[in-house]
Structure 1
Amino acid sequence: MKEQLEQFLYYITVERGLALNTVISYRHDLEQFISFLESIGIKNFKEVKREHLAGYLENLHNKGLATRSRNRHLAAIRSFYKYLLREKIAESNPAAQMESSQIQKKLPQVLSLEEVERLLDQPDVKTPLGQRDKAMLELLYATGLRVTELVRMTTEQLNLEVGYVTALGKGHKERIIPITENAQDALKEYLQHGRRALLKGRQSNYLFVNRSGKPITRQGFWKILQRYTQKAGITRHISPHTLRHSFATHLLEHGADLRSVQMMLGHSDISTTQIYTHVAREQLKKIHRLHHPRS
């Protein structure tokens, strides 16, 4: 069974062009599924029935996995069986008629405009690292990039003359996003001074590098963000995605249309973007409650 899994992972990597993180997630979930099947004596994917899959999902529930995580496992199995059917390795898809569990949607956490300003003001732009950090934070808030898109960005994806970046998103889909003047200024300063100081004559195609001249990692950026969050006096837990949420919500609050925000975020389905309209409404209600004399 593990041989079929490797073939599937090769297929989604090479033929479908899925992102590395997506492929890693598929591997993790499907290896767990195969281990469960082996533990109950199933050695062939043709033997798997709906009740076996129900037992697996119940096993995940008993281990404390959240509804969203269990649904991700089910979606991975469903996709895997579509491949097995196409390759005539399986005769039916036991996951085909199984419905995902309902998830209570939580509104994404966003920063206020004042909190964003405080956060962006934290890096010491007199130092190479501060110039880099300022450029990263400004670019993230200006464009709503995913953190992976940010840390993997190359200098070729940046066009400061026209004022846009070309983001390479999920499934290697490209999208063009305008950048603010503040972000452009921070990037120019970093490229002219900070980046050169960090590279020390070394070569790199990556836009954002560390002291060793290597690209910043997702974990590295997360630590940088946490440090500046504390310095800014923001007590709530925020992640790189919080700036993406804030970017989208603030655009909608200031009159941007939903379709444009969808394109900039790289959402394939506009319903994913629509949650930010709910956030914007909640923000307006909060302001109304705080400031209306009869609230």
Structure 2
Amino acid sequence: MNVYHGVEKFQFNSKNILTIGTFDGVHLGHRFLLNRVNALSKKNNGVSTVVTFDPHPQLVVAHENRGPIKLLSMLDEKIELLSRFGIENLYIIPFDVQFANLSPNEFIQYYLKKSIGLLGVVVGHDHGFGNARKGNITTLFDAFAKNSVWVEQLGQYTHDDNLISSSVIRKLLLDGKVVHANEMLGYPYSVKKQVVLGNKRGRQLGFPTANLDIANSDKLIPGSGVYAIKCNLQGKAHIGMANIGTRPTFGDHETSLEVHILDFDGDIYGKDLGVQFIIKIRNQIKFENPTDLVAQLEKDKIKVRTILS
């Protein structure tokens, strides 16, 4: 996949058949669009293309009644996913306040017509673009009415009669409903972070953990609880359990992500660890003492082996 990051690096191509969006998570709804773009590109000797933005617009422009957004996919993850699903050209537009203030027609003229080029454009059922998302399918039809560019809008995509969106998936993950979230994503949700030194309390309890650095990150961390997880170390697949929370048994207040990898005791400090969340097995519990905690961890380990082995 060709990746063009920044307008000065864009390569104009009149054969681009493109779709536009943030594509956070590249979920099944997004892939409904991508599949159509791929099919049209193949049929018309075009080039399957995505136009996206970095950083995510909601990290730049405040929205009423919305708190700070956390992302399902960081830029490197989004690039990997789009490449995996067959996209040939990816144009990444730096999103800032100046860009946010462009009118829909300014975006079409400068970016789509002049800088990127296109043979066709496919958008989702609720697509909006330009300042305050004032641009819509009618804007696109009007802009390309005199050009040999076709415009297509797809219908609403649902999974098991449920509407799929990045915001719905974020809420599911924050509620610990990773199984449902993974179904909508079409793959296991994952977090990849550097392993940092912790207080080594897990090792003292007989359950050494890899502490992932989740501070000051825009990546969404699932809700508190204990999860069955999968990970890969040095090319070998492992299973384990992850605890997300404040470690109430020990009076801690800062949220942490700790991973106990079953049948592994290597030194991975300073290395990046990718963790796939498979299912939440229980809520966070405050135990009366460390002995009770260890007894529960033993039960958790058995449950994880049963689920993932």
- Larger helix proportion, structure 1 or 2? 1
The TM-score, its normalising length taken from structure 2, stands at 0.25
The TM-score, its normalising length taken from structure 1, stands at 0.26
